[in-house]
Amino acid sequence: MPVPAKDRAGEARHREILETAARLICKAGYEGTSVQEIALACGLTKAGLYHHIPSKERLLYEIMSYGMDLFEEQVLSRVQDIADPLERLKSCMARNVELVTLGASKEVTIILHETDTLTGHSRATINARKKRYVRFLETAFREAMKRGQIREVNPTVAAFGFLGMVLWTYKWFKPSGKLSARQVAEGMVDLLFTGLAAGG
């Protein structure tokens, strides 16, 4: 059944509010951004904004969920079925660097900064989605070790080393800088998976 035009318009408006709020929260932090400011930037009254979003915390939760959706659509779902664990990890790293550098830097910033802002069920839901990614990486590292594709290392250290290299790019990467997103993605994969050892 086709989605009625009215629903599509409502959804687009909802997305637009999340985008605007994400921009403000990314800049000043959750605590530093008032509902009043978000409403104003959306061209709404405070009451009008509350018509779309029940609470400020819910808004934050929806922004983080949207960031996790993007990650799952553009990274995880595209690599999780790669049978070769080493290829799965390499492709995952390259795609995730590209998502952070090109796509979703404000959602990523918020997910990374506001970890402890959410409470209760919302917090548990976002944390579970993050943890799933860590487990996915640990499993892939274990499989690659089992196949003899990589050395024996601690899979948790490897997973967080991987994540650190990838996620840190949101801090330093500039689209106008000397390195392209592609160069960073390929460079990081090469750095971790080929390693630094000379004449290897």
Chain residues that interact with its own copies, rule: CB under 8 A = 27-33, 112-113, 115-116, 148-151, 153-154, 156-158, 160-161, 163-169, 171-172, 178-179, 183-184, 187-188, 190-200
Paired tokens of 21 = 């709020």
Comparing CB distances to its own copies, the nearer of 4 and 152 is 152
- Find the shortest distance in angstroms from Cβ 190 to its own copies: 7
- Find the shortest distance in angstroms from Cβ 11 to its own copies: 31
Comparing CB distances to its own copies, the nearer of 23 and 52 is 23
Residue whose entry in the numeric block shows the structure tokens 């590292």: 141
- Find the shortest distance in angstroms from Cβ 4 to its own copies: 41
- Contact in structure between 143 and 158 (CB atoms under 8 Å): no
Comparing CB distances to its own copies, the nearer of 52 and 86 is 86
- Find the shortest distance in angstroms from Cβ 97 to its own copies: 10
Paired tokens of 4 = 């009625």
- Find the shortest distance in angstroms from Cβ 28 to its own copies: 5
Give the chain's length: 200
Give the whole-angstrom CA distance, residue 181 versus residue 176. Answer: 10
C-beta atoms surrounding 157 within 10 Å:
11
Comparing CB distances to its own copies, the nearer of 39 and 189 is 189
Comparing CB distances to its own copies, the nearer of 121 and 178 is 178
Residue 59 dihedral angles phi and psi, to the nearest 5°: -60, -45
- Find the shortest distance in angstroms from Cβ 121 to its own copies: 21
Question: CA Rg, the chain, in Å?
Answer: 19
Residue whose entry in the numeric block shows the structure tokens 């944390």: 127
- Contact in structure between 166 and 97 (CB atoms under 8 Å): yes
| Amino acid at site 54 | P
Comparing CB distances to its own copies, the nearer of 124 and 191 is 191
- Contact in structure between 92 and 144 (CB atoms under 8 Å): no
